[in-house]
Amino acid sequence: MGTLYLVATPIGNLEDVTLRALRVLREADRVFAEDTRRTRKLLDRHQIAVKPMSLHSHNEAARIETALAVLAGGGEVALVSDAGTPLVSDPGGRLVAAALAAEHRVVPVPGASAVLAALSVAGLPVEPFSFLGFLPRKAGPRRAVLTAYCGRPETLVIFESPRRLVGTLRELADVLGDRPACVARELTKLHEEAARGTLRELADRFEGSVKGEITIVVAGAPEPAPLGAADLDVAIRARIAEGRPVSAIASELAAAAGLPRREVYARVLALRDAGS
């Protein structure tokens, strides 16, 4: 049985790599990299002589046979992406599935993460959060994804390219509302920036030329304001007209109104009897 290591690499600053990651890369029988040129810079910086082999979205299927042969001999294979953790918006999923199917060990070697780095500096709640990766390119599927998260309370983390940043910020505001957000750009690099504001403010700020790798953090949906007395009565009457049971109406609206269920139950009975 061999071992496949999923090795996290720096997202910018080449010092952001663990001692364990360097050891694994130095000792591995084969290192697969999304872009060998970028990985070579990391290896050279830390004086690791291994020659990486490319594994990207266009050749992953072909590389699996090579990796499995090394693993079948009890060897160690390391997989790295351009930055951060492999498989997170990067290739490698088919290799991991093949290694597991062949009953080899798959071991994570954690490290730098653009998702967590952006969350930590955004100034927004970090629990819970949902990572959406890169949104779909086509308008319909992209709008469907955003609509599905419209009313959900968790903070959203999205990867985006510089040329689509402004359009995405405006679409987020259109679908989700003009929520607080953060655009984290060039994290851990020389021109690192974490810009905070509402989605529309950020869209205006980045109008024009934008460079670098982008992570967008967006606040979750705000909690709805409790129903006032007048709105509660309207909601109760509408449900009575639909023929809903008194107990069901009380259970549904008590939380929305921020009132004890028995109090709402009594109000439902009063309105029902008044209308009979």
Q: Kindly tell me if the per-residue pLDDT of 141 is higher than 70.
A: yes
pLDDT at 167: 96
pLDDT at 276: 52
pLDDT at 62: 86
Residue 247, in any domain of the structure: yes
pLDDT band at 231 (very low <50, low <70, confident <90, very high): confident
pLDDT band at 57 (very low <50, low <70, confident <90, very high): confident
Residues 69 and 160 in one domain: no
Q: Any bridge partners for residue 157, and if so which?
A: 131, 217
Average per-residue pLDDT in the chain?
A: 93
Residue 71, in any domain of the structure: yes
pLDDT at 69: 94
Summarize the confidence of residues 190-202 as an average pLDDT.
96
Residue 224, in any domain of the structure: no
Domain count, the chain: 3
pLDDT band at 107 (very low <50, low <70, confident <90, very high): very high
pLDDT at 46: 94
Residue 236, in any domain of the structure: yes
Q: Kindly tell me if the per-residue pLDDT of 36 is higher than 70.
A: yes
Taking the C-alpha atoms of residue 162 and residue 212, their distance in angstroms, rounded to an integer, is 6
Among 84, 112, 140, which residue terminates a domain?
Answer: 112
Where is pLDDT greater, at 274 or 73? 73
Q: Kindly tell me if the per-residue pLDDT of 18 is higher than 60.
A: yes
Q: Where are the alpha helices (DSSP H) in the chain?
A: 19-27, 36-45, 60-72, 93-101, 114-122, 139-148, 165-176, 199-205, 229-241, 246-257, 261-275
Among 62, 78, 112, which residue terminates a domain?
Answer: 112
The domain spanning residue 34 has which CATH number?
3.40.1010.10
pTM over 0.85: no
CB atoms within 10 A of CB 96: 17
164 by DSSP, 3-state: which? helix
Residues 7 and 108 in one domain: yes
pLDDT at 28: 96
Summarize the confidence of residues 32-61 as an average pLDDT.
92
pLDDT at 43: 95
Residues 163 and 256 in one domain: no
Q: Write the pLDDT tens digit of every residue in 239-248.
A: 999 988 999 8
Q: Kindly tell me if the per-residue pLDDT of 256 is higher than 90.
A: no
pLDDT at 12: 92
Q: 259 lies in which domain range?
A: 229-275
Q: Kindly tell me if the per-residue pLDDT of 31 is higher than 60.
A: yes
pLDDT at 14: 92
- The type of residue at 148 is A
pLDDT at 215: 97
Q: Kindly tell me if the per-residue pLDDT of 91 is higher than 90.
A: no
pLDDT at 131: 96
Taking the C-alpha atoms of residue 127 and residue 125, their distance in angstroms, rounded to an integer, is 6
